[in-house]
Chains A and B, each alone.
Chain A
Amino acid sequence: MNALSDVKDQANSPATGSQPPAAAVASAPSPSRLPARTYLAIPAATLFALALHWLVSRKELPAETEIYFQFLGLVLGASVVISVIQPFWTALRKWMKEMSPVIAAAVLVLSVGEFVTAGLRLLELSWLNAPPMPYFPSPAGVLLSLVSDRALIFDSTWHSLLLLTEGYLLGVATGVTSGICIGWFPAARYWGMPLMKLVGPIPATALIPLAMVLSPSTKFSAMGLIALAVWFPVTMLTASGISNTRASYLDVAKTLGANRSYLIFRVAIPAAMPNIFVGLFMGLSASFLTLVVAETVGVKSGLGWYVSWASGWAEYGKVYAALVIMSAFFSTIMTVLFKVRDRVLVWQKGTIKW
């Protein structure tokens, strides 16, 4: 009888009664050695790109060739250094195992680009419709444009960042506030929802002509438009998150002595956080679109303006260079938002260990 109860006690004691976190079980020990194909992939791809460039770039501008050789040489050098030191650095080895194939593929994609532009032009394969020079510069040409016009591109990126940040933060602040009000207070819902339903679905870009007339400065109106584009999805998702707070959480909080501000700020808002972040992501995509359109048609700075300005001068190398920077710029901002979400919603992801 005693023995029996002892076993039962142990089986249910706090220390053993828990389930181990899945993450702790899943992480396998990292391999102490990488297969050769993993750490040689990038150097091999880069050597191939160098060889191809040497073959096809004879008729391209010497300045392009020079900078592209430098670039590929840098990649080759870095990849060789990394391959040599990776046996002594576990974190680097893990990173290589993860990233090596995709980086090698990116280098090969550059080679494909090089072949269909400079390569086909060199071979004069007119029956293949070799892309004409001004519209389709080779990767080397794009790189040269990027490097030579870096001051203006950097300045444009900076202006885009400022405008985007102002508009996005304004949109998030108003969206979260109005979403909380609409989600919590029935009166705000009654009066706010019709407005939302009428104004929200209008694409912010459709209001550009109006905004340019209404506001003294294009910067200011562009900021307002970005904020409007962000406001709608953030409000909708926040409101639905707040109003769908599990009633039992609110009941429990009330029996713990919660007042209304506790119920809103410490129950409803945290419970709505996953929803709010969906709204933040939707708003971010909308803000990118609105930013670029506003810069293209009105604002006289930023990456959107730069792209249309460069294409106006038929400098397509600069257009592609700006697109490359735009991609890196937007993708970095997305990554930042993902990191913020992972941190705020750590309770949901379940990766934390104790």
Chain B
Amino acid sequence: MVSAPAAHTTVEGSSLSVREVSKAFPTPNHAELRTQALDAVSLSVNAGELISLLGPSGCGKSTLLRLISGLDHPDSGELWVGNEPITGPSAERGLVFQDPNLFPWLTVRRNIEAGLVARGLLHEKRGEVDDFMRLVGLAEFANAFPHHLSGGMAQRVALARALINHPKVLLLDEPLGALDAFTRMRMQDEVLRLWEARGTTMLFVTHDIDEAIYMSDRIVLMTPRPGLIERIIDVTLDRPRQRSSQEFLRLRGDILELLHFSGHP
């Protein structure tokens, strides 16, 4: 088995194209200065691909994700999903944060339904809610409120909530960053399972090299100030990947070396 989108049973995902995108923010306390978060960044993602954006903090990976989600707009450049330009937020592009951001006033079930309610589709697609709750293993917590959930469970609800809209692109901003090491590894498998089942195009922001190698088809290595793509690394290891295999460790060494020689801390 090769690490290719062909492994999916279905491909719901859509290709994504980032063209010469720049974004600057005002520097705190210095209104006249602007920090260049992204400087003419271009990236092309195939339908059903899982891409990691890897880099130290401040390299613009979260900014890039917000631009793709449509919550922010670029200063210059274009973003396209399939054949359509991105003009604003849409249910086609789901977003999962490090903090699950579940609506605390809604039960697990109602959180997962939120996307259907927002689009007025709850009535037709109610049956899917159960499927998604089963998919993330939360069927028996349907009526629990978010504050009763552990971090890993809350993040699973957040994933189900984003996936219920069948997004073409799922954007994950360090979704596992707040979890302990064991929950984290289990959740990596969980995300991979969801990805393989649905063929959603995924962009996965992380600062964990192991996570990036374990999960992605390609790793986009970014450097800060200004945010640039340093290099794109193809990960050709077979899936499921062995975290302690020779190839895995060799690639890990290469990336560490690359980060070290790139001259940025």
Which residues of A does B touch, CB under 8 Å?
A: 8-9, 11-15, 17-19, 21, 246, 248-249, 251-259, 262, 266-267, 270-271, 273, 346-348, 350, 352, 354
Tell me the dominant secondary structure on chain A's binding face: helix
Known contacts A252-B97, A254-B88; 11 additional CB pairs below 8 A are A15-B140, A18-B141, A249-B101, A253-B114, A253-B118, A254-B71, A254-B89, A270-B105, A270-B106, A346-B145, A347-B105
Q: Which residue on chain B has the smallest CB distance to residue A267?
A: B103
Tell whether, in the assembled complex, residue A18 and residue B148 are in contact, meaning their CB atoms are under 8 Å apart.
Answer: yes
How long is the Cα–Cα vector from A251 to B138 in the complex, in angstroms? Answer: 24
Interface residues of B in 88-126 (CB under 8 A from A): 88-91, 93-95, 97, 99, 101, 103-107, 114-115, 117-119
A13-B137, A350-B145 known; A256-B152 Cβ under 8 A: no
Chain B residues lying within 8 Å of A254, measured Cβ to Cβ, are 70-71, 88-89
Chain A residues lying within 8 Å of B149, measured Cβ to Cβ, are 18
Selected contact of B89 from candidates A8, A255, A271, CB within 8 Å:
A255
A17-B150, A248-B97 known; A256-B161 Cβ under 8 A: yes
How long is the Cα–Cα vector from A21 to B106 in the complex, in angstroms? Answer: 17
Contact of B239 with A by CB under 8 A: no
User: How extensive is the interface on chain B, given as a class?
Assistant: 35 or more
Selected contact of A257 from candidates B103, B115, B141, B144, CB within 8 Å:
B115
A248-B97, A262-B118 known; A255-B150 Cβ under 8 A: no
How long is the Cα–Cα vector from A258 to B115 in the complex, in angstroms? Answer: 7
How long is the Cα–Cα vector from A240 to B240 in the complex, in angstroms? Answer: 50
Tell whether, in the assembled complex, residue A251 and residue B71 are in contact, meaning their CB atoms are under 8 Å apart.
Answer: yes
How many inter-chain residue pairs (CB < 8 Å) link A and B?
Answer: 108
Tell whether, in the assembled complex, residue B105 and residue A17 are in contact, meaning their CB atoms are under 8 Å apart.
Answer: no
How long is the Cα–Cα vector from A210 to B148 in the complex, in angstroms? Answer: 53
Interface residues of B in 142-161 (CB under 8 A from A): 143-150, 152-153, 161
Interface string of B185-229 (1 = CB under 8 A from A): 110000000000000000000000000000000000000000000
Tell whether, in the assembled complex, residue B143 and residue A14 are in contact, meaning their CB atoms are under 8 Å apart.
Answer: no
A-B contact pairs, 7 of them (CB 8 A): A12-B182, A19-B150, A249-B103, A254-B70, A257-B91, A270-B105, A350-B147
Contact of B162 with A by CB under 8 A: yes
How long is the Cα–Cα vector from A254 to B114 in the complex, in angstroms? Answer: 11
